[in-house]
Amino acid sequence: MEYHRVVSLVAVVVVLLRRWPALSSAQAPVSRTITVDSHGGGDFSSVQSAVNFVPDGNREWVRIHVRAGSYTEKVAIPEEKGYILLEGDGSSNTDINFNDYAGAHVRSRGDTSPTYQSAIFTNTHNAHDKINKSQAVAALVRGDRNAFYGCAFHSFQDTLCDDLGRHYFSDCSIEGGIDFIFGYGQSIYDGCTIVSNMPPSYGQNPGSVTAHGRIDASDPGGFVFKGGEVRGTGRQYLGRAWNEYATVVYYHVNMSRIIVPQGWEAWKADGETNKVVFAEVGCTGPGSNMTGRVPWEKQLSEVEVEKFVDMSYIDDGWIGEQPY
């Protein structure tokens, strides 16, 4: 499938949320809480209405608490709506859902630092026809300083568009079959579970967990997976190069047998793999067997490894200023 530098998406979201623990005294304060109740008992009956209520240019943390219920809507958080903490009322109780081609976007830009806790973003467009090679983005993250804690992203093709900016994913689950983490982002996936849902009916062609699009040597972008695991069904590349400077690092990740022996695919960097940074460091499990790996996989020095896995790769203090 071909992708374009500017991704145009229709918002398609299924979100399941659970209540997050109360803030500690060391956490950033929340200035107000907005309640969403599909039955009319809150401040708003839709999530989007609550998001729209947050003032443009907001600089104080606002909690949007979504009570148990079913919410059929497309949700977008634009760049003007900053400092939003989205939380729900139980992973099996709060359901924000939609089904459509292309994707759901959770969008912000600049230094607005939205935070998402224990949310499930799902695009069901290909759920019953996984041979259908159409894009079904569950979430688009196109903003700087975005953090996700205990969230899940479910789809088949192009599940998570980690498009632009610095992002932190902690204890999240990302599920898909083809290029299901893709984009140009500069992100750390800390202790995350990566799940392939590639069905046997798809044939012998492997999918790819990642498709990173770094475009030149000066671009700081890259996907870094620290800890966690890669498992599921079917066969998967660890990544394929969307552009010739694609950067993906797996660090101490447990890998199941779904990873194909060659590990990586050159794709758009065919003939220029010397520019690609695809690396594995200290990984475990049967899928981490290096026998058969492509010869151009990078062997990083200790200094290079530290650059990627240290939180300073994405964090200049903004993570500690969030209400989590």
In this structure, what CATH number is given to the domain that contains residue 238? Answer: 2.160.20.10
Q: How far apart are CA 48 and CA 270, in angstroms?
A: 43
Please answer whether residues 150 and 117 qualify as being in contact, where contact means their C-beta atoms are separated by less than 8 angstroms. yes
Question: How far from the centroid of its chain's Cα atoms is residue 140's Cα?
Answer: 8
H or E stretch at 69: strand 69-72
Question: How far from the centroid of its chain's Cα atoms is residue 46's Cα?
Answer: 24
Q: How far apart are CA 242 and CA 268, in angstroms?
A: 5
Q: Does residue 6 belong to any structural domain of this protein?
A: no
**Number of domains comprising the chain:** 1
What value does the mean pLDDT of the chain take?
A: 83
Q: Does residue 260 belong to any structural domain of this protein?
A: yes
Q: Does residue 263 belong to any structural domain of this protein?
A: yes
Q: How far apart are CA 55 and CA 5, in angstroms?
A: 30
Q: Catalytic: which of 158, 162, 163, 190? A: 158
Helix, strand, coil shares of the chain, percent, nearest 5, are: 10, 35, 55
- Residue 269 phi, psi (nearest 5): -105, 15
Which pLDDT score, from 0 to 100, does residue 13 have?
27
The domain in which residue 290 lies consists of: 15-316
| CA 160, 163, 303, 245 torsion-angle sign | positive
Please answer whether residues 78 and 108 qualify as being in contact, where contact means their C-beta atoms are separated by less than 8 angstroms. yes
Kindly report which listed range (42-51, 197-206, 241-250) carries the lowest average pLDDT score.
Answer: 197-206
pLDDT over 70 at 208, yes or no: yes
Q: How far apart are CA 229 and CA 206, in angstroms?
A: 18
Q: How far apart are CA 244 and CA 233, in angstroms?
A: 28
Res. 125 pLDDT band, cuts 50 70 90: low
pTM score of the predicted model: 0.86
Q: Does residue 322 belong to any structural domain of this protein?
A: no
Kindly report which listed range (6-20, 176-190, 242-256) carries the lowest average pLDDT score.
Answer: 6-20
Q: Does residue 262 belong to any structural domain of this protein?
A: yes
Q: How far apart are CA 166 and CA 185, in angstroms?
A: 6
Which pLDDT score, from 0 to 100, does residue 201 have?
73
- Residue 303 phi, psi (nearest 5): -65, -40
Which pLDDT score, from 0 to 100, does residue 128 have?
44
Tokens of 259: 């990873």
179 is annotated as an active-site residue: yes
Res. 134 pLDDT band, cuts 50 70 90: low
Closest CA to 301 of 284, 270, 277, 265: 277
Closest CA to 66 of 97, 104, 100: 97
Please answer whether residues 318 and 23 qualify as being in contact, where contact means their C-beta atoms are separated by less than 8 angstroms. no
Rounded to 5°, angle at Cα 260 from 200 and 253: 110
Tokens of 106: 């959770």
Which pLDDT score, from 0 to 100, does residue 133 have?
58
Closest CA to 142 of 75, 209, 76, 48: 76
Q: Does residue 82 belong to any structural domain of this protein?
A: yes
Q: Exposure of 268 by Cβ count < 10 A (0-12 exposed, 13-18 middle, 19+ buried)?
A: middle
Q: Catalytic: which of 37, 95, 162, 179? A: 179
H or E stretch at 33: strand 30-36
pLDDT over 60 at 106, yes or no: no
Res. 143 pLDDT band, cuts 50 70 90: confident
37 is annotated as an active-site residue: no
Which pLDDT score, from 0 to 100, does residue 80 have?
84
Q: Does residue 324 belong to any structural domain of this protein?
A: no
3-state DSSP call for residue 61? strand
Please answer whether residues 212 and 242 qualify as being in contact, where contact means their C-beta atoms are separated by less than 8 angstroms. yes
Other beta carbons within 10 Å of 3: 16
Q: Does residue 270 belong to any structural domain of this protein?
A: yes
More confident residue, 90 or 88: 88
